[in-house]
Amino acid sequence: MFAMHENLATTREVNDAKGAASCTLSIAPMMECTDKHYRCLARLLTRHTQLYTEMVVDQSIIYNQAQVIGPAQSYEHPITVQLGGSDPEMLAKAAVVCERLGYDEINLNVGCPSPKVVNKKKPSACFGARLMTDPPHVAKIVARLQEVVSIPVTVKCRTWEKLRSMPAADPPTSCALQIGVDDLDQYEHLKNFVETVVEALGPTAHFIVHARKVHPIVRSVPQRLCVVHASTVICSSRFLAFY
């Protein structure tokens, strides 16, 4: 539910900076939970946290934005809208709408394990965690998003599980990830994914760590040890986020 960031920001920094990396605490995007009412409650509890919307599918925003997503409220900042989808152009159109509605950041969902999004009959229509099996395509998406919006673009995905034999490394950016897709749960898979996407995101890249694998879905026990190892592996990153 909550995501803790490594860097500690002052009250003024949190209020002035509109980006997830500026906050000490983030409230994770949760379907059928982090709606406008929940976010209002969260903001009543604290002004010093990054808020996220629920995941919103790109087509829903493009064709029915009035009912699917409203303008960001003044009390919600900083607030990130999380987008779901796989088509770079559709996501770009949705991102433009979100920026126009006043959201501070676009987060691409590459971590949702739901069969509804990862097991569609048409492979090209799959999104969420399924995108992690195609790093170049994710890089293409985020590159396109950055072309059409001026607000930050971040990625939520999954990370690896088998860490004991993992080599030391210093990825150049912070990570917003989850643990493994199918059999792609080795360190090298994660390393390849991050390095590929970082080339598109550039020096402001930000990823989010969720310590669970895609399978078994939803009710798997959080791999807390993985979070500890992840924090050491990505120690050179400027910002770390853990779910």
Residues with catalytic annotation? 112
48 near 25, Cβ under 8 Å?
yes
Enter the DSSP assignment of 214.
S
60 near 24, Cβ under 8 Å?
no
* CA–CA dist 27, 132 (Å, integer): 23
42 near 27, Cβ under 8 Å?
yes
**What's the burial of 236, exposed, middle or buried (CB within 10 Å: 0-12/13-18/19+)?**
exposed
Q: How many CB atoms lie within 10 A of CB 87?
A: 17
Structure tokens at 159: 């990370």
225 to 21, 62, 115, 161, 238: CA distances (angstroms): 23, 40, 27, 9, 21
φ, ψ for residue 105 (rounded to 5)?
-160, 150
Among 145, 198, 156, which Cα is nearest to 28's? 156
Question: C-alpha 7: how far from its chain's center?
Answer: 18
Enter the DSSP assignment of 26.
E
